[in-house]
């Protein structure tokens, strides 16, 4: 069992320069393969100190993960932190948002983009297919002083009947089988007039997702990390796909 291949670039390869596992991990978090680590990033002058899996690859040898893969092709992508999320955070911090607007973060993992939203005064709901990821994102939010954040376990194939004016997803497009469920979810969960951002590190599968958007009655625009328009998806470099209702 391996992580899906991606173009070899700084925007699409998972971060691996993580600290050693914590000797005394937080009691609120469960025991996981490889243990927990803590790391700080400074982005746009903001400090983000996060707890995250110390060795994400250790999950690939876990019997529970193997059983979940056999049932539903589950992969523990939530345990990895991708460079695109750091660039997305910078974009979130530089963008004007309506204060107190509700945001749904899809595939939240450790919750870095959602935490940036909380810093900007938004009401964030962290969501993931993996309950451990939701618990971790909420834990990181509480440690940063945002005890009001909410969590939601979501199967993209069966989205709840709840709408948000803003939806974010980072590095969700690496498998074709997720594209149609994600776009159907946007049709259901994105409020009229709302905006969804899908950030991608330049994976080859992003173009397929981009081409499917009009078939779902949605419109899209494509941007780089500085929110400058792009004419088409690119491989190996960060891009932001903005999706709206037609």
Sole residue written with tokens 């080859």: 204
Q: 11 in a domain, yes or no? A: no
Please report, rounded to a whole number, the percentage of residues in the chain having pLDDT higher than 90.
80
Tell me the average pLDDT of the chain: 92
Q: Which of 136, 177, 170, 176 is nearest to 153 (CA)?
A: 136
Q: 27 in a domain, yes or no? A: no
Domain encompassing residue 165: 36-245
Using only C-alpha atoms, the chain has a radius of gyration, in whole angstroms, of 17
210, 203 Cβ separation under 8 angstroms:
no
Contacts for 214-220: CB closer than 8 Å, 24+ residues apart: 215/183, 216/180, 216/183, 216/184, 216/186, 216/187, 217/187, 217/245, 217/246, 218/183, 218/186, 218/187, 218/243, 218/244, 218/245, 218/246, 219/243, 219/244, 219/245, 219/246, 220/244
pLDDT digits (tens, 9 = 90+) for 224-240: 999 999 999 999 999 99
pLDDT on residue 4: 39
Q: 214 in a domain, yes or no? A: yes
pTM of the prediction? 0.92
Q: 67 in a domain, yes or no? A: yes
Q: 215 in a domain, yes or no? A: yes
- DSSP code of residue 198: E
Whether residue 8 is predicted with pLDDT greater than 50 in this model: the reply is no
Q: 212 in a domain, yes or no? A: yes
Domain count, the chain: 1
Output the domain CATH number for residue 122. 3.40.50.150
Q: 4 in a domain, yes or no? A: no
Q: 185 in a domain, yes or no? A: yes
């Amino acid at each position: 069992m391996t992580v899906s291949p991606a173009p070899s670039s700084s925007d699409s390869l998972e971060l691996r320069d993580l600290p050693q596992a914590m000797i005394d991990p937080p009691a609120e978090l469960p025991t996981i393969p490889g243990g927990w680590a803590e790391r700080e990033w400074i982005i746009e002058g903001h400090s983000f100190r996060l707890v995250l899996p110390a060795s994400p690859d250790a999950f690939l040898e876990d019997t529970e993960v193997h059983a979940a893969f056999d049932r539903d092709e589950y992969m523990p992508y939530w345990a990895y932190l991708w460079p695109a999320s750091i660039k997305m955070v910078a974009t979130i911090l530089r963008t004007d948002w309506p204060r107190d607007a509700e945001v749904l973060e899809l595939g939240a993992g450790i919750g870095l983009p959602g935490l940036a939203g909380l810093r900007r005064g938004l009401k964030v709901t962290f969501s993931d297919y993996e309950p451990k990821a939701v618990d971790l994102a909420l834990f990181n939010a509480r440690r940063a002083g945002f005890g009001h954040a909410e969590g939601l376990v979501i199967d993209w194939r069966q989205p709840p009947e709840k709408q948000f004016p803003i939806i974010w997803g980072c590095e969700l497009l690496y498998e074709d089988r997720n594209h149609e469920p994600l776009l159907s979810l946007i049709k259901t969960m994105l409020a009229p007039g709302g905006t969804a951002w899908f950030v991608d590190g330049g994976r080859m599968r992003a173009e397929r997702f981009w081409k499917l958007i009009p078939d779902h009655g949605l419109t899209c625009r494509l941007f780089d990390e500085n929110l400058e328009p792009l004419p088409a998806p690119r491989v190996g470099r960060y891009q932001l796909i903005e999706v709206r209702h037609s």
